[in-house]
Amino acid sequence: MPGTRLNKYIASSGLCSRRKADELIESGVVMVNGKTITELGYSVAPKDKVFVNKQLIHPVKHEYYRFYKPAGYITTSDDEKGRKTIYDLLPENLHNLKPVGRLDRESTGLLILTNDGDLINELTHPSAKVPKLYRVSINGKISQNDIDTMYKGIEIEHGKAAYAEVSVLEIDNSHTTMEILLYQGMNRQIRKMFEHLGFEVVSLKRIQHATLNLDGLKRGEFKPIKPQQIKELRNFLNRISNQK
């Protein structure tokens, strides 16, 4: 009976992606049946015992959920400042799932939750360029020059430019509502871009991540992602990867 590649076995435990598992193997912290393994192509059998950093790991069933994050919660499992986290809204049986990317405390909208380390890596790795769509309102009237500047790029971190595609939905002298498409995942990217332009973000909601959206979700609600939706998501990610 053929075995399972060690990096895939580690990833299937939900610990990390296969790419990260390769790094762990090479660093010498992975053991199989008491023997340190540094060979990337190593295969394990169903009865083998695999340890990472001396901790026994087991494959787990992958779970996938959509969650509509409300404002006032941070996207982490623990906060040393005692702030409310998204896990305060989730049942304990979902506390093993990790968010795919983050939304800051006051932002709302779609978060994908999963224990599939490979999928998290595919959706968030900087080279992936997976589209994320946001609905954003600001406290002023945006100009075409501002829109062009966001498209061309704004340096919001030293040596790092942020880019955004903007579609105006509603505009008057006191506010502008837009849909903003990002292919990056920089920290507080949208807020920093508008701050650079002299605007304050009044509301920010992620409405879509790759092929998944908020359809059928109320604020604070979570639902399992259907197998067909996961298949469509993987097909979409494969098409992106093949275009590189």
CATH, range 4-57: 3.10.290.10
Choose between 60 and 164: higher pLDDT.
164
- Given 79, 104, 146, 172, which residue is catalytic? 104
Specify whether 104 is catalytic: yes
Q: Do domains 4-57 and 132-209 have the same CATH topology?
A: no
Q: For the chain, which residues make up each domain, given as ranges?
A: 4-57, 64-126+211-242, 132-209
Mind giving me the DSSP string for the chain? ---EEHHHHHHHTTSS-HHHHHHHHHHT-EEETTEE---TT-EE-TT--EEETTEEE------EEEEEEPTT-BSSS--TT---BGGGSS-GGGTT-EESS---TT-EEEEEEES-HHHHHHHH-TTT---EEEEEEESS---HHHHHHHHH-EEEETTEEE--EEEEEEE-SS-EEEEEEES---TTHHHHHHHHHT--EEEEEEEEETTEE-TT--TT-EEEPPHHHHHHHHHHHHHHHHT-
The whole-model pTM stands at 0.84
Tens of pLDDT along 20-47?
Answer: 999 999 999 999 999 999 999 899 998 9
CATH, range 64-126+211-242: 3.30.70.580
pLDDT at 244 (0 to 100): 62
CATH class of 132-209: alpha beta
